[in-house]
Amino acid sequence: MILTKAETSCIIDVLKTLIYNDVNDLKTKLVKAKETLNSKKYTLMMFGDQDLYPNNSIINDKDKYKIISSLDGRWCLQTQLFYHLTKTKKITHEEYNELVHF
């Protein structure tokens, strides 16, 4: 999928949010992203378009690890949220479910 410079900037801004900010900041940016991106591009940002790991990899929950191929393999937001849920514990199950279905 081809993204404009503005769309790319919007998506990267959202994807970088949890590095330094909390979930509330992410929610604010998701509202802006929904206004900026069409539904296909918003879905791309949320769920990616390519598996991170090959099908023959033996990794738990590998279906949760997706990337955005048009952004040089950046993790999609769902993958970032799953990582923060299971590894860093930065978000709760409730927050994960809310944000994935935002």
Nearest to 90 by CA among 44, 11, 4, 26: 26
Q: Would you say 63 and 79 are in contact if contact means Cβ atoms under 8 Å apart? A: no
Q: Over the chain, what is the mean pLDDT?
A: 95
Please determine, for residue 70, whether its predicted confidence score (pLDDT) is greater than 90.
yes
pLDDT at 5: 97
pLDDT at 56: 86
- Which region, left, alpha or beta, applies to residue 51 given φ > 0 means left and ψ of -120 to 50 means alpha? beta
46, pLDDT greater than 90: yes
Give the separation between CA 25 and CA 29, rounded to whole angstroms. Answer: 6
Whether 6 contacts 36, CB under 8 Å: yes
Residue 73 predicted with pLDDT over 90: yes
